[in-house]
Copies of this chain bind each other. A is one copy, B any other.
Amino acid sequence: MTDATIDRPVPAPIGFSADKRQAILAAALRLIARLGLHAAPMSAVARYAGVAAGTLYLYFPSKEAMINALYLQVLEDRDRSMAADAEGARKDGAIGRAGLWAFWNGLARWHFEHPEASSFLLQCQSSAILTDETREGERRMNAEGLRNFEQAVAAGRLRDLPLQVFWALVAGPIFQLAQMRDAGEMEITDDVLRSTFDGVCRSVLPERDVATSP
């Protein structure tokens, strides 16, 4: 038993087949969005993913772990999508109304174009199912955004607000619209997005930047 025998003790570091893992997560997402976190049995996830029940446990140690993994993956998808949308608003963080639009619209559009993922996120966030580790992972993901935020505040390109107040004012309305949409209480039109964004600008931008452009 030399040191060399310790090489790659586990052949596949994450899962066996990335496709299958993905199919499982996609099935879980759909079912949880449709039925709710409570009423989505693992057996149904397996059936929907086209695998046997036991297979789920080759990829995830438990249902809770699967949901937590899915949560982080959905967050990553959202971040990636927002980063792509923000291609225009470049580098240094030229906030102002246009920069905020790039950020806000990216977040809003993702939530409205991915209703299942959006519903899943909102359910997880208010359900005591996320572990401390997952919440820690989320915090780490947001570190860069936090840095940009502080920079923008320091440069006077955002009103001087605590980060959490900023997030509540910027993201809170989006999540609220998403929830009303999920409840079938409204449809999200471009007009709704525009007028909500206009309100958000007034709440977090310095006055001189509010009216910069439609």
Q: Which of B119, B128, B177, B203 contacts A200 (CB 8 A)?
A: B203
Please, which residue of chain B has its CB at the minimum distance from the CB of A121? Answer: B126
Is A49 in the interface zone, CB < 8 Å from B? no
Question: Which residues of B sit under 8 angstroms from A39, Cβ to Cβ?
Answer: 128
Q: From DSSP, what is the main secondary structure of chain A's interface residues?
A: helix
Please, which residue of chain B has its CB at the minimum distance from the CB of A181? Answer: B164
A186 and B203 CA atoms in complex are apart in Å by 21
Question: Which residues of B sit under 8 angstroms from A161, Cβ to Cβ?
Answer: 195, 199
Asked if A165 and B37 make an inter-chain contact with CB atoms under 8 angstroms apart, the answer reads no
Number of interface residues of A (CB under 8 A): 46
Report if A173-B164 is in contact (Cβ < 8 Å); known contacts: A38-B127, A125-B179: no
Is A123 in the interface zone, CB < 8 Å from B? yes
Is A88 in the interface zone, CB < 8 Å from B? no
Is A35 in the interface zone, CB < 8 Å from B? yes
> Which of A38, A128, A159, A179 has the most C-beta atoms of chain B within 10 angstroms of its own C-beta?
A128
Question: Which residues of B sit under 8 angstroms from A177, Cβ to Cβ?
Answer: 164-165, 168, 172
Report if A169-B200 is in contact (Cβ < 8 Å); known contacts: A164-B177, A164-B192, A177-B164: yes
Asked if B179 and A164 make an inter-chain contact with CB atoms under 8 angstroms apart, the answer reads no
Report if A176-B172 is in contact (Cβ < 8 Å); known contacts: A127-B123, A195-B162: yes
Given A39-B128, A126-B179, A172-B176, 15 more A-B residue pairs with CB atoms under 8 Å apart are: A35-B128, A36-B127, A37-B37, A37-B127, A38-B127, A123-B127, A135-B183, A161-B195, A161-B199, A164-B180, A168-B177, A169-B199, A171-B176, A199-B204, A202-B202
